[in-house]
Chain A
Amino acid sequence: MKPFRHINVPGVAEAVDYLNKFPGSSRLIAGGTDLLGVLKDDILPAYPELLINIKAIPGLDYLREDENGLSIGALVKLAFLARSPLVREKYKVLADAARSVGTPQLRNMATVGGNLGQETRCWYYRYPHGIGGRIQCQRKGSGPCLAVGGDNRYHVIMGGKGCFAACPSDLATALAALEGSIKTEGAGGGRIISIGEFFHPLGNALKAGEMIVELQVPPLPAGSRQHWLKYTLREPVDFAVVSVAVLTVLEAGICREARIALGAVAPGPLRALQAEQFLKGKEPIPEVLQEAAVLAVQGAKPLSKNGYKVEIARVLVLRALEASFAGHK
């Protein structure tokens, strides 16, 4: 690994300050579980001179619930989220998504902010520099996306543009079903970005010098149920081929609300709005759910090698809906 300077910052203000003093040549480091891999494989053309360690910022690992919903400090560890009785009880998809990440060791280090900030897992993007040189691509600023004409079995089936890498974050999928958002701090002050707006085909919405300080989940619809499913090639230590988070509200046997978020099929978590709309006002009988699942993947444009992801996504949506509605009884 190439050398870099590593500094600890006492607070968010200082972190933002350093980010702005070293634009383009500094990176935040939280748990380091993603960043260190990125640096070791030297996949990016620019190598940071400075790592700004935010891990030790006091008070940024809170979990709070009030009338505005749930707030999660950026430094909350995935292990904590997965274990928290509050989250497991009420925000089940978040806890389940967190628990599905990596291994216990990783979850003990990995933070929620880092999970949203992590780099994609596209194997062209991640190709190690040491074996004949890194791969330049759209996402890195220049060059074509090699996945389009290459081996794209794990790439997106919807929403790619210029880059077809899938969003790796499981938390993002869960947050999308909960209609969560991300609170940031930057040189010009803070802002709130809804999770649906956070990921772009070529990266994320963070501006230079901006950092995530909190995840927010608004109050849940009364009586709602949730379900999380993640499909991987092997059980642990694997990113999703497809993940699904759903939230449902059932009143007198009729679906009042349904939210379906798909993960790893697009550059960001994707809400299946058409399917959601279709479900509203209907009785969730098998035929309805099947139809909804078909609608959820309608419009998918698989690449040459990832058509199977469409089928898996459909089945996962169906199963998640079945489980969520079953939870109402």
Chain B
Amino acid sequence: MNNRKFTQVGRSVPRVDGPAKVKGEAIYTGDMVLPGMAYGRIKRSPYAHALIKKIDYSKALALPGVLAVITGEEAPNKWGIVPQTANEVALAVGKVRFWGEGVAAVAALDEETAEAALELIEVEYEPLPVLLDPFESMRRAGEVRIHEDKPDNILHQAEQVFGDPDKAFAECTYVLEKEFRTSYVNHAFLEPHAALASYDVQSGKLQLWSSTQVPHYLHRQLSIVLEMPMSKIRVTVPAVGGGFGGKGEASSADFCAALLSRKIGRPVRVTFERSEVFATNKGRHPCYMKMKIGLDKDGYIQAVDFENTLDGGAYAGWGMVVMFYTASMIHLPYKVPNARARVRRVFTNKPTCGAMRGLGGVQPRFAMECLLDEMAEMIGISPYELKMKNAIESGYRSVSNLHVPHAEYKKCLQTAVEKSGYLEKHGKLPFGKGIGLAGGYYISGTAYTLYQAYKPHTTVLIRVDTEGGVTVHCAAADIGQGCNTVMAQMAAEALGVHYEDVHVVSGDTELGTFDLGSFASRLTYATGAAILEAAEEINQKLKEVAAGMVGCRADQLEIKDRRFTSIFEPRKTIEWEKVVDVYTNTVGTLTGIGHFSPPRLKGIDLTRGVRVQGANIGHSPTFGFSCQIWEVDVDLETGKIRAHKVTEAGDCGQPVNPMSVDGQVEGSIMFALGQALYEEMKLDADGRMLNPSLHDYKVPTAMELPEIDTTIVESYDPTAPFGVKESGEGPVQPTIPAIVNAIYDAIGVRFTELPITPEKVLRALKEKKEKEKV
């Protein structure tokens, strides 16, 4: 398909879910009330690490209005989004591993009674030493073990070698090695986790409404924890107020609602407080990184060496996947012929880290883009020139066997540089003002099923009839990213009808056909491919009928703008509805089904042809690219940084909905700006979080919003459905390093730890002044 011919793809239609949300009419899980519904609350641990000696809830149970109390012992099966590392439980069993971990849950007639009941639950703890630092955790593993089966307090570690990095470094003209550290940040989505469970005692069926990104994985985990067949469980996703990865696995709200409902035979809803969202986290992994880059005399990258210790917190979560992604992310968007990654993900007694927008990419990107900025200075060329020199192009295959079918990364760099006037400003602005550049990329359309299975990752069923028009069924979850809108656009394009003719039924494991979920920027690509296949089947059947009606051969018909028309004799034309009418009158409702499975490439070191463990994680059918150039002002006396302008250029392939792409890019920019300058969860020495609120956890607001200039660069991936890539996670990648590089340009200080607060700026300026005096 050629993008110039698109009429529905490429249209900036407003989101289908937009008006209801803007008017406050959208129904979120926490808005739902069912007849007889009870309210669930969770009792949380006052220790970050302790044995549970005894739980006595008899007094709670005796409180009028309390319907049930559960503890971890009642549902001890371990769950985890990555089954090989599943080590979480619905409620703590025998031991708590982070401050605020759930130890019991109550269902009561109202929330107040449930809360009062929590006070009556008596828990006896035996405190254990608390490990909050990953290096301390490894050092003291012999004495303090967080998980019995992990004697080193390490979830997993790996070394990946590609080519001969040591030899390559030895031959390099320029080598730079530095340490970088990222902070402990949370997604801060607006809607806290909520789950409403309704167990029907007669049929033994459970329905769960949940604010989730992954109805399928939640479905699986419920089946494991509740010991019920998946066919007896239905997961439905109402409106979701954002996820950003934080709803990319099950939450204890889901399990507690389900377990309590099954116990009392009435619906139970558990809605988290904001403090509970922070207390259970699953945000970005703080990374302690060491990166070394070697360039030859002409500035071409010869080798990258990357060491990363990920602070994982108490449980496994997405940890192993995130760890391998960080290793993979050094292979793009530059040509790296030799590489080594040594990575490990360590347990600590903190709320667990998990998946967060752009997972695994943001941390190494920070290191790499900042190092290259510094190396350009070493060589005496512009960072732009250095990055252009090394940037990959369409058809590139990395030494780790990562294949990039299509890339407009250079175009992104060029566009942002030209539009921002980077070359005229960089290094030439007055002290206190700076401009910085960084690039980035992200995977698209991928996801290995996290458990052993070869089934397609997405199935789309399209139904066409005279009553409903076109209905697209797929259990994908629209969490605010807009997949219901773009699925409708792509289906309309594929069927030759209008976007307005298409209904989407999604977010329901019973009504929707199989889909893995909303993560890894996979949905537009994956559902696009499945939609094309499903539509093909329908188009074929309708063309056969239409051909008879207009009098030509079926393969001579084209469907566009709700009409079948002969490509040779345009007079021979008929309305789409009439054809559907005839088809359904003679045959009945028309359906088409399509599937998508991403191609499976092996993770190998191409120089030696040997398999490298985990190197396939980070492969993907295609990749999105982008460049951001930030301009900052630094108040030299108070240390305050104002990041006031960003010029962005992105390669998202063919934009299905350009307005949505802009929204994703702008959202990504604000999202990463927070991590760069403002946000950080802080724990005290006991592991208690000091700022579990949106007041003390400083998310930037509209007033911090910079002037944003975005460009969707001309791009079309011929190997992708409709030419699409991603735009939801790639644009978070360059933000942090671009800001950090801009700060360097402004004040001559290279920060390597986030967030860059006024405190740190003042300290750095003082140190710089003292150094200059000497």
Report B672-688 residues with CB < 8 Å from chain A CB: 678, 682, 684-685, 688
Report the bound CA distance from A124 to B684 in whole Å. 10
**Contact present for A234 and B116 (CB under 8 Å):** no
**Contact present for A2 and B703 (CB under 8 Å):** no
Contact A132-B45, Cβ < 8 Å, known A123-B690, A150-B685, A231-B638: yes
Interface pick from A69-77, A174-182, A235-243:
A235-243
Whether A131 sits at the interface, judged by CB under 8 Å, is: yes
Contact A238-B698, Cβ < 8 Å, known A2-B112, A127-B690: yes
Q: Which residues of A contact B700 (CB under 8 A)?
A: 234
Contact A132-B757, Cβ < 8 Å, known A146-B684, A237-B695, A238-B698: no
**Contact present for A41 and B696 (CB under 8 Å):** no
**Contact present for B684 and A236 (CB under 8 Å):** no
Q: Which residues of A contact B758 (CB under 8 A)?
A: 233, 241, 308, 312
Q: Which residues of A contact B682 (CB under 8 A)?
A: 151
* B672 CB, min distance to chain A CBs, angstroms: 15
Most chain-B Cβ atoms within 10 A of its Cβ — which of A130, A132, A315, A316? A132
Whether B273 sits at the interface, judged by CB under 8 Å, is: yes
**Contact present for B688 and A127 (CB under 8 Å):** yes
Q: Which residues of A contact B640 (CB under 8 A)?
A: 231
**Contact present for B757 and A235 (CB under 8 Å):** no
Contact with B along A291-316 (1 / 0, CB 8 A): 00000000000000000100110011
Closest to B47 in A: A132
Closest to A150 in B: B684
Closest to A132 in B: B46
**Contact present for A131 and B99 (CB under 8 Å):** yes
Closest to A305 in B: B759
Contact with B along A229-256 (1 / 0, CB 8 A): 0010111111001000000000000000
**Contact present for A131 and B100 (CB under 8 Å):** yes
Contact with A along B89-109 (1 / 0, CB 8 A): 000000000011000000000
Report B726-774 residues with CB < 8 Å from chain A CB: 757-759, 762-763
Q: Which residues of A contact B684 (CB under 8 A)?
A: 146, 150-151
**Contact present for B691 and A123 (CB under 8 Å):** yes
Q: Which residues of B contact A153 (CB under 8 A)?
A: 759
Selected contact of A315 from candidates B47, B118, B275, B637, CB within 8 Å:
B637
Report the bound CA distance from A235 to B703 in whole Å. 6
Whether B689 sits at the interface, judged by CB under 8 Å, is: yes
Closest to A237 in B: B701
Whether B650 sits at the interface, judged by CB under 8 Å, is: no
Report the bound CA distance from A50 to B731 in whole Å. 51
Whether B692 sits at the interface, judged by CB under 8 Å, is: yes
Q: Is the interface of B mostly helix, strand, loop or mixed?
A: loop
Whether A133 sits at the interface, judged by CB under 8 Å, is: yes
**Contact present for B639 and A132 (CB under 8 Å):** no
Whether A128 sits at the interface, judged by CB under 8 Å, is: yes
Closest to A319 in B: B637
Whether B115 sits at the interface, judged by CB under 8 Å, is: yes
**Contact present for A132 and B99 (CB under 8 Å):** yes
Closest to A40 in B: B273
* A216 CB, min distance to chain B CBs, angstroms: 31
Report the bound CA distance from A17 to B701 in whole Å. 43
Whether B533 sits at the interface, judged by CB under 8 Å, is: no
Closest to A133 in B: B46
**Contact present for B44 and A131 (CB under 8 Å):** yes
Report the bound CA distance from A239 to B47 in whole Å. 30
**Contact present for A233 and B116 (CB under 8 Å):** no
Report the bound CA distance from A4 to B763 in whole Å. 48
Contact A236-B701, Cβ < 8 Å, known A131-B99, A131-B279, A131-B689: yes
Closest to A235 in B: B703
Report the bound CA distance from A67 to B704 in whole Å. 43
Q: Which residues of B contact A130 (CB under 8 A)?
A: 44, 115, 118, 273, 275-276
Whether A1 sits at the interface, judged by CB under 8 Å, is: yes
Q: Which residues of A contact B47 (CB under 8 A)?
A: 132
Report the bound CA distance from A311 to B273 in whole Å. 37
* A142 CB, min distance to chain B CBs, angstroms: 17
Whether A59 sits at the interface, judged by CB under 8 Å, is: no
Contact A131-B692, Cβ < 8 Å, known A153-B759, A238-B698: yes
Contact with A along B17-48 (1 / 0, CB 8 A): 00000000000000000000000000011110
Q: Which residues of A contact B759 (CB under 8 A)?
A: 153, 308
Report B105-126 residues with CB < 8 Å from chain A CB: 112, 115-116, 118
Report the bound CA distance from A123 to B115 in whole Å. 22
Closest to A2 in B: B112
Q: Which residues of A contact B45 (CB under 8 A)?
A: 132
Most chain-A Cβ atoms within 10 A of its Cβ — which of B44, B115, B690, B763? B690
**Contact present for B275 and A235 (CB under 8 Å):** no
Contact with B along A1-41 (1 / 0, CB 8 A): 11100000000000000000000000000000000000001
Closest to A306 in B: B759
**Contact present for A2 and B115 (CB under 8 Å):** yes
Q: Which residues of B contact A316 (CB under 8 A)?
A: 638
Q: Which residues of A contact B685 (CB under 8 A)?
A: 150
Q: Which residues of A contact B100 (CB under 8 A)?
A: 131-132
Report the bound CA distance from A153 to B700 in whole Å. 19
Closest to A313 in B: B638
* A82 CB, min distance to chain B CBs, angstroms: 16
Selected contact of B112 from candidates A3, A231, A235, A312, CB within 8 Å:
A3
Closest to B687 in A: A132
Selected contact of B696 from candidates A123, A132, A231, CB within 8 Å:
A123
Contact A233-B678, Cβ < 8 Å, known A128-B275, A131-B275, A131-B276: yes
Q: Which residues of B contact A308 (CB under 8 A)?
A: 639, 758-759, 762-763
**Contact present for B275 and A234 (CB under 8 Å):** no
Contact with B along A99-135 (1 / 0, CB 8 A): 0000000000000000000000101101110111100
Q: Which residues of A contact B115 (CB under 8 A)?
A: 2, 130
* A113 CB, min distance to chain B CBs, angstroms: 21
Report the bound CA distance from A315 to B45 in whole Å. 43
Report the bound CA distance from A308 to B638 in whole Å. 9
Contact with B along A147-174 (1 / 0, CB 8 A): 0001101000000000000000000000
Q: Which residues of B contact A311 (CB under 8 A)?
A: 637-638, 762
* A34 CB, min distance to chain B CBs, angstroms: 11
* A31 CB, min distance to chain B CBs, angstroms: 16
Q: Which residues of B contact A241 (CB under 8 A)?
A: 758
* B108 CB, min distance to chain A CBs, angstroms: 13
Q: Which residues of B contact A121 (CB under 8 A)?
A: 695-696
Report the bound CA distance from A316 to B640 in whole Å. 12
Report the bound CA distance from A133 to B279 in whole Å. 13
**Contact present for B703 and A132 (CB under 8 Å):** no
**Contact present for A234 and B691 (CB under 8 Å):** no
Report B691-715 residues with CB < 8 Å from chain A CB: 691-693, 695-696, 698-704
**Contact present for B690 and A124 (CB under 8 Å):** yes
Q: Which residues of A contact B696 (CB under 8 A)?
A: 121, 123, 126
Q: Which residues of B contact A238 (CB under 8 A)?
A: 698
Report the bound CA distance from A3 to B113 in whole Å. 9
Report the bound CA distance from A237 to B693 in whole Å. 13
Report the bound CA distance from A132 to B92 in whole Å. 14
Q: Which residues of B contact A151 (CB under 8 A)?
A: 682, 684, 690
* B50 CB, min distance to chain A CBs, angstroms: 11
Contact A234-B276, Cβ < 8 Å, known A1-B112, A127-B690, A132-B46: no
Q: Which residues of A contact B637 (CB under 8 A)?
A: 311, 315
Q: Which residues of A contact B46 (CB under 8 A)?
A: 132-133
* B653 CB, min distance to chain A CBs, angstroms: 35
Report the bound CA distance from A131 to B112 in whole Å. 16
**3 shortest A-B CB distances, which residue pairs?**
A235-B703, A132-B46, A315-B637
6 contacts between A and B (CB under 8 A): A3-B112, A124-B690, A150-B690, A236-B703, A308-B762, A312-B638
Identify the B interface with A (CB < 8 A). 44-47, 99-100, 112, 115-116, 118, 273, 275-276, 279, 637-640, 678, 682, 684-685, 688-693, 695-696, 698-704, 757-759, 762-763
Given A233-B757, A236-B702, 8 new contacts (CB under 8 A): A123-B690, A123-B691, A130-B115, A131-B99, A233-B678, A233-B758, A312-B639, A315-B637
